[in-house]
Amino acid sequence: MRILVVEDESVMAQSLRTGLEDHGFAVDVAADGEEGLWYAAEVDYDAIVLDLMLPKINGFKVCETIRDRGDWTPILMLTAKDGHLDEAEGLDTGADDYLTKPFAFEVLLARLRALLRRAGSERPVVMTAGDLSLDPATREVRRGDEAIDLTAREFAILEFMMSRVGQVVSKTEILAHVWDFAFDGGPNIVEVYAGSLRKKIDTPFGRQSIVTVRGAGYMLDSDGG
> What are the residues binding Ca ion (CB under 5 A)?
8, 51, 53
| Chain residue at closest Cβ approach to Ca ion | 53
Q: In this complex, which beta carbon is closest to Ca ion, that of residue 48 or of residue 129?
A: 48
Distance CA 211, CA 62 (A): 43
Q: In this complex, which beta carbon is closest to Ca ion, that of residue 49 or of residue 157?
A: 49
Amino acid identity at 40? A
- Give me the least distance between CB of 102 and Ca ion, in Å please: 13
Cα-based distances in Å from 165 to 121, 170, 215 = 27, 13, 19
Q: In this complex, which beta carbon is closest to Ca ion, that of residue 51 or of residue 173?
A: 51
Distance CA 149, CA 151 (A): 7
- Give me the least distance between CB of 66 and Ca ion, in Å please: 17
- Give me the least distance between CB of 86 and Ca ion, in Å please: 17
| Strands in 119-170 per DSSP E | 127-129, 132-135, 140-143, 146-148, 168-169
Amino acid identity at 30? A
The secondary structure element, H or E, covering residue 27 is: strand 26-30
- Give me the least distance between CB of 8 and Ca ion, in Å please: 5
Judge contact between 11 and 19, C-beta under 8 A: no
Q: In this complex, which beta carbon is closest to Ca ion, that of residue 31 or of residue 150?
A: 31
In the chain, which residue ranges form alpha helices assigned H by DSSP? Answer: 10-22, 33-42, 59-68, 87-92, 105-121, 152-162, 171-178, 189-197
- Sheet containing strand 168-169, edge to edge, reads 168-169, 217-220, 210-213
- Residue-level length of the chain: 225
- Give me the least distance between CB of 215 and Ca ion, in Å please: 57
- Give me the least distance between CB of 54 and Ca ion, in Å please: 6
Q: In this complex, which beta carbon is closest to Ca ion, that of residue 105 or of residue 205?
A: 105
Q: In this complex, which beta carbon is closest to Ca ion, that of residue 99 or of residue 162?
A: 99
